[in-house]
Every structure is written in C-alpha cells, then in structure tokens.
Chains A and B, each alone.
Chain A
C-alpha cells in the first residue's frame, strides 16, 4: 500500500462519511483488496490503479447512491407523509375540532332545554295559564301545548344523541390524530 493508494482511500473514506463507521471500514477494506489484486494480478502501477478506479468522489458516490437510494426514497416519503399529516391535522385543528366541539356542546344543552321547555308549556296549560314565551313550532305549524311535551322530549332525545355523537367524534378525531402523530414520529 503506497502513498497514492492511501491518499485515494482516505478520500473515499471522507466522501463516505454519511455511512456508519462499520460499513465504511468494510467498503474501504474491499477497495483496498481490489487495489492489491489489481497490482498483483494485472501488474498495474498505483497511478494506473487509481485511474482505473476513477474519481474517488464518483466511486464513493456510487456506493452512497446504492445504499442511500432506498433510505432516501424512504425518508422523502416520510417527509411527504409528515407534511401531509401536519397540514391535515392543522386544518382539522382549525375547522373540524371547533366545529365538532361547539356543536356537541350546543346540541347537548339543547337536548336538555327542549324537554324542560315542553314540560313548562304542558304544565302551564294544565294549570290553566298560557306560557307565551314557550311554544313548539315547526315552520308555521304550532303544536298543541299538551302535544308539545312528548314532541319536545323526543326532540330533546334526538338533540342529545346528536350532541353525544359529535362529542364522540371529537374524541375519536383527537385519538386518531395523536396515534397518527406517534406513527409519523416513530417511522
């Protein structure tokens, strides 16, 4: 091993720095072996050998290209995945979460208010006085005060269920986003 070949190998080693040390050592040893075989078998001089092996940057680049091509494509995919994830999660934070949480809260409250109002209306009617500020209206149709009670209870249940559904959706969304986030970081 003379100076020319050593200098060549040192250059290769420098260009291979992105690779782990063990892999680099393995590559250097293999090229060294190749050089010695060329010297012994083909009777080449050090200059002829380094010329044959080509520009050290290109040779190292060929190794890097082969070993990084998979992980580079992989990390590019990972990057795209992460960007997509945060875009969607961010959008979800702006649009989906406020929408579902506010709707869930409002529907739950309405679900409670509706039967209470129906009860007030029906009780008022039975006790002989009208409660003008409470009525069950559907478009231009107004329900009889007694009919308002079962209708408002039914409506209350529906509203409550809808509110609960949106609340579950909110929790589910948060769960999915956080588990996806873990997977983005663990990839």
Chain B
C-alpha cells in the first residue's frame, strides 16, 4: 500500500467513525418520536416494537435502550400500559398505548419535525 492509499483509507475510517457517531445521535434524538408514532397506530408490546424497528437499521435499538425509554414515557404520562395474556402459551405481554397527553406531545413533535425537514430542504437547494 503506498502512502496516498494509506492516507485515503485512514480518512475513510475516520469518516465511518464520524458517520456512525452521527447516526447514533440521530437515533437517540428520534427514537422517542418513532416509538410514539408506532404505538399510536395500535398498542404494541416491547418485543413487537424492537422487531419492527429492526426493519430499519438506522432505528434498530437494543432492549436496554427501548425498555427504559418505554418506562420513562410511561412515567411521564405519554404512554399507558396493560398486561395481556397470550394464546400461544407465552407469558403475558405488556402492551403500551399512547395517552391523550402523548398524542399532544406527538403532534408538537411532528410540527417540529416538519420545521426541521423544511429547513434542511431549503439548505440543500
């Protein structure tokens, strides 16, 4: 490997580290929004949420991220929860649903999201 190639690969590596860091920041900032949007469609349980998020690599998150986040949203009154038995011989599932307060929060978030998107659209022109 000559020096210019070496230099390029190093820059590439740095680039990748930064982009990963940036992606994790985006995830941290938007996961709450995405989870609320998902639960608003229909009540969901933890495993369901984690599996759905796995469809999108940028949103995929571990149990140790999702469950404590759900718990916080519950405590803050944006979500409510109920346990429901399963038919498949599995243990009961804890379902989450969006409360009125959560719906309000979600619409405020959606408005901010629109602002962000239009700002970025304008900047990218």
- Could you say which of B64, B71, B83 contacts A54, with CB atoms under 8 Å apart? B64
Contact A33 B64 (CB under 8 A): no
Contact A36 B91 (CB under 8 A): yes
Contact B91 A62 (CB under 8 A): no
Min CB–CB distance A13 → chain B (angstroms) = 15
Q: Which of B6-14, B22-30, B45-53, B102-110 contacts A (4 or more CB under 8 A)?
A: B45-53
Contact (A41, B94) CB under 8 Å given A34-B46, A62-B68:
no
Residue of B nearest to A40 (CB): B90
Residue of B nearest to A35 (CB): B91
- B75 in the interface (beta carbon within 8 A): yes
- B67 in the interface (beta carbon within 8 A): yes
Min CB–CB distance B91 → chain A (angstroms) = 5
C-alpha spacing A27/B62, complex, angstroms? 16
- Could you say which of B50, B72, B90 contacts A66, with CB atoms under 8 Å apart? B72
Chain A 31-61 interface 0/1 with B at a Cβ cutoff of 8 Å (1 = within): 1111011101100000000001110001100
Residue total for A at the interface (Cβ-Cβ under 8 A): 24
User: Which residues of the other chain, B, contact A70 by a CB distance below 8 angstroms?
Assistant: 75
Min CB–CB distance B89 → chain A (angstroms) = 9
C-alpha spacing A53/B63, complex, angstroms? 6
User: Which residues of the other chain, B, contact A36 by a CB distance below 8 angstroms?
Assistant: 90-91
Main SS of chain A's interface residues?
A: helix
Contact A66 B69 (CB under 8 A): yes
**Which residues of B from 39 to 89 have beta carbons under 8 Å from A?**
45-47, 50-51, 62-65, 67-69, 71-72, 75, 83, 88
Contact B68 A66 (CB under 8 A): yes
Of B67, B69, B75, chain A has the most CB atoms within 10 Å of the CB of B67
Chain A 1-36 interface 0/1 with B at a Cβ cutoff of 8 Å (1 = within): 000000000000000000000000011011111101
Contact A37 B64 (CB under 8 A): no
Contact B45 A33 (CB under 8 A): yes
Show 12 residue pairs from A and B whose CB-CB distance is below 8 angstroms, ordered by the A residue. Answer: A26-B94, A27-B71, A30-B94, A33-B45, A33-B91, A33-B93, A34-B63, A37-B93, A53-B64, A63-B67, A63-B68, A66-B69
Contacts A31-B63, A52-B63, A54-B64 known; 9 new A-B pairs at CB < 8 A: A27-B71, A29-B92, A31-B67, A33-B93, A36-B90, A38-B47, A41-B47, A62-B64, A62-B65
Give the interface of B toward A (CB within 8 A). 45-47, 50-51, 62-65, 67-69, 71-72, 75, 83, 88, 90-94
